[in-house]
Amino acid sequence: MKQQEFKEISGGKPFYMVLGFFGLFVLAALGSAWYMEHNGHWVTGMNNQIVWGMPHVFAVFLIVAASGALNVASISSVFQKTAYKPLARLSGLLAIALLVGGLAVLVLDLGRPDRLIVAMTYYNFKSIFAWNIILYTGFMVVVGIYLWMMMERKMNRFTKVAGFSAFIWRLILTTGTGSIFGFLVARSAYDTAIMAPMFIVMSFSFGLAIFILVLMGLYNWSDRPLGDSILFKLKNLLGVFVASVLYFVLAYHLTNLYITRDHGVEEFILLNGGVYTSLFWIVQVGLGSLVPLALLYSPSTGQSRGWIGIASLLVIIGGLAQMYVIIIGGQAFPMELFPGKEVSSAFYDGVVGSYTPSLPEIVLGIGGVAIALAATFVGVRVLRFLPSSLADEAVDPHYSAREAEATA
Amino acid sequence: MSEESNIDIYRRRFLSGTASAAAGLAVAPGVMLTEVANARPADQAVTSEVRWGMLIDTNKCDNGCNDCVSACNEEHNLGGFDRPATDAQWIRTVTLKDKQTGNVQTLPLLCQHCEHPPCVDVCPTGASFKREDGIVLVDKHICIGCRYCMMACPYKARSFIHEKLQDQMPYSPRGKGTVESCTFCVHRVDEGITPACVEACTAEDHNAMTFGDMNDPDSEISQQLERYSSRQIRADLDLNTGVRYRGI
Question: How do residues B80-98 score in pLDDT, each as one tens digit?
Answer: 899 999 999 999 999 999 9
Contact (CB, 8 A) for A233 and A83: yes
Alpha-carbon gap, residue A14 to A11, rounded angstroms: 7
pLDDT band at B6 (very low <50, low <70, confident <90, very high): low
- Tell me whether residues B156 and A337 touch, CB distance under 8 A: yes
DSSP per-residue string spanning A345-369: ETT-TTSPPP----HHHHHHHHHHH
* Residue A137 sits at the chain B interface (C-beta within 8 Å): no
- As a whole number of angstroms, the distance between CA A216 and CA A230 comes to 11
Using the predicted structure, report yes or no on whether residue B14 has a pLDDT greater than 70: no
For residue B107, give the nearest of B223, B226, B247 by alpha carbon: B247
> Between the CA atoms of A17, A18, A19 and A21, what dihedral angle is there, to the nearest 10 degrees?
90
Q: DSSP secondary structure string, A162-173?
A: HHHHHHHHHHHH
For the cut 70, the answer to whether the pLDDT of residue B23 exceeds it is no
In this prediction, residue B35 carries a pLDDT of 58
Please give the ipTM for the structure prediction: 0.93
Determine the Cα–Cα distance for residues B149 and A99; give it in Å rounded to an integer: 24
Query: Model confidence over B141-184: pLDDT tens digits?
Result: 999 999 999 999 999 999 999 999 988 999 999 999 999 999 99
Our CA-based measurement puts residue A279 at a distance from the nearest CA of chain B, in whole angstroms, of 22
Of A130, A343, A347, the CB nearest to B89: A347
Which stretches within chain B are classed as H helix?
3-27, 67-75, 118-122, 148-152, 186-189, 196-203, 220-227
What pairs with residue B95 in β-bridges? A344, B106
How far CA B125 is from CA of A66, A207, B139, in Å, comes to 25, 30, 10
Q: Is B181 on the interface with A (CB under 8 A)?
A: no
- Minimum-distance CB partner of A112 among B118, B148, B177: B177
Q: What is residue B21's predicted lDDT score, i.e. its pLDDT?
A: 46
DSSP summary character for residue B32: -
Q: By CA distance, what is A122's nearest residue in B?
A: B125
Going by C-alpha positions, the residue among B163, B146, B144, B73 that lies closest to residue B110 is B73
Distance CA B141, CA B139 (A): 5
Using only C-alpha atoms, chain A has a radius of gyration, in whole angstroms, of 22
The stretch A233-248 carries a mean pLDDT of 98
CB contact under 8 A, A186 and B151: yes
| Angle, vertex CA A192, rays to CA A186 and CA A198, nearest 5 | 130
Position B79 scores a pLDDT of: 83
At residue B99, does pLDDT exceed 80? yes
Residues 219 through 238 of chain B touching chain A, CB cutoff 8 Å: 233-234, 237
Find chain B residues with C-beta within 8 A of A133's C-beta: 124
CB atoms within 10 A of CB B188: 21
Q: How many other CB atoms are found less than 10 A from the CB of residue A157?
A: 9
Query: How many residues are recorded in chain B?
Result: 248
- Is the per-residue pLDDT at A362 higher than 90? yes
Residue B109 to chain A, least CA–CA distance (Å): 10
Q: What pLDDT score was predicted for residue B43?
A: 78
Residues 6+ apart with CB under 8 A from A160: A77, A78
pLDDT (0 to 100) of residue B27: 45
* B chain contacts of residue A348, beta-carbon cutoff 8 Å: 84-85
The predicted-structure confidence for A55-113, as pLDDT tens digits, reads as follows 999 999 999 999 999 999 999 998 988 889 999 999 999 999 999 999 999 999 999 99
Contact A82, A118 (CB under 8 A): no
Residue A174's H or E segment, with its range, is helix A159-182
Are B154 and A335 in contact (CB < 8 Å)? yes
Distant-in-sequence contacts of A266-273, Cβ < 8 A, 24+ apart: A268/A329, A268/A332, A268/A333, A268/A352, A269/A189, A269/A325, A269/A329, A269/A333, A273/A329, A273/A332, A273/A333, A273/A352
pLDDT in tens, A188-236: 999 999 999 999 999 999 999 999 999 999 999 999 999 999 999 999 9
User: Do A341 and B97 touch, CB atoms closer than 8 A?
Assistant: yes
Task: State the angle between helix axes of A159-182 and A195-221 in degrees (0 to 180), rounded to the nearest 10.
Answer: 130
Quote the pTM value: 0.91
- Please report, rounded to a whole number, the percentage of residues in chain A having pLDDT higher than 70: 96
Of A118, A127, A337, the CB nearest to B234: A337
Of A40, A186, A347, the CB nearest to B152: A186
Mean of per-residue pLDDT scores for chain A: 94
Q: How many helices (H) and strands (E) does chain A have?
A: 17, 3
pLDDT band with cut points at 50, 70 and 90 for residue A406: low
* A342 touching chain B per CB within 8 A: yes
Q: Is residue B173 within 8 angstroms of chain A, CB to CB?
A: no
Q: Looking at chain A from residue 26 to 85, which residues have their Cβ under 8 Å from any Cβ of chain B?
A: 37, 39-42, 46-49, 51-52
Residue closest to A20 by CA, chosen among A385, A377, A386, A365: A377
B231 — phi, psi (to 5°)? -140, 165
SS3 B131: coil
Q: What is the three-class DSSP state of A274?
A: coil
Class of domain A10-335+347-386: mainly alpha
* Domain ranges for chain A: 10-335+347-386
Q: Tell which residue, A270, A331, A271, A279, has the closest CA to residue A45.
A: A331
Q: Are A187 and A335 in contact (CB under 8 A)?
A: yes
Rounded Cα gap, residues A287 and B179, in angstroms: 38
On chain A, the residues whose CB falls within 8 A of the CB of B84 are 346-348
Residues of A in contact with B154 (CB under 8 A): 185-186, 335, 337
The 10 Å Cβ neighbour count of residue A125 is: 10
Please give the radius of gyration of chain B, using alpha carbons only, rounded to the nearest integer: 18
User: Residues near A213 by Cβ (< 8 Å), separated by ≥ 6?
Assistant: A309, A312, A313, A316
B57 pLDDT more than 70: yes
Q: Do B85 and A49 touch (CB under 8 A)?
A: yes
Identify all chain A residues contacting B163, using CB atoms and an 8 Å cutoff: 39-42
Structural contact between residues A236 and A299, judged by C-beta atoms closer than 8 angstroms? no
Q: Tell me which long-range contacts A269-273 makes (C-beta under 8 A, separation of at least 24).
A: A269/A189, A269/A325, A269/A329, A269/A333, A273/A329, A273/A332, A273/A333, A273/A352
Q: Which residues of A touch B156 (CB under 8 A)?
A: 48-49, 335, 337, 347, 349
pLDDT confidence of residue A399:
65
- Please report the residues numbered 114 through 153 in chain B whose beta carbons come closer than 8 angstroms to any beta carbon of chain A: 118, 120-127, 142-148, 150-153
